[in-house]
């Protein structure tokens, strides 16, 4: 639809968000709360909500593994 507006020389509003950087440094629930507060459509908020959920990590040194740790921030690499 936006391309038709441009063809008619009408203005188009677009928002580009670098989610990887946002999720790297802030608790996901804070970002989602702010998106809802700003009026982001619920389908978009849910899509963002589901992507980085239930992630865990652990560390391996030689043949010893740490316990699993639930992550509250960050983003999967290469996502």
- Which tokens sit at 39? 């009026």
pTM value? 0.39
pLDDT of residue 61: 94
The three-class DSSP label of residue 44 is helix
Name the nearest CA neighbour of 31 among 74, 76, 69: 74
Task: Taking residues 4-8, report their average pLDDT.
Answer: 88
Task: Taking residues 41-52, report their average pLDDT.
Answer: 78
């Amino acid at each position: 639809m936006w391309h038709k507006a441009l063809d008619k020389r009408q203005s188009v509003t677009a928002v580009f968000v670098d989610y990887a950087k946002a999720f790297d440094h802030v608790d996901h629930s804070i970002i989602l709360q702010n998106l809802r507060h700003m009026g982001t459509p619920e389908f978009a908020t849910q899509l963002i909500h589901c992507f980085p959920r239930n992630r865990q990590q652990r560390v391996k040194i030689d043949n010893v593994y740490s316990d699993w740790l639930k992550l509250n921030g960050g983003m999967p690499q290469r996502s």
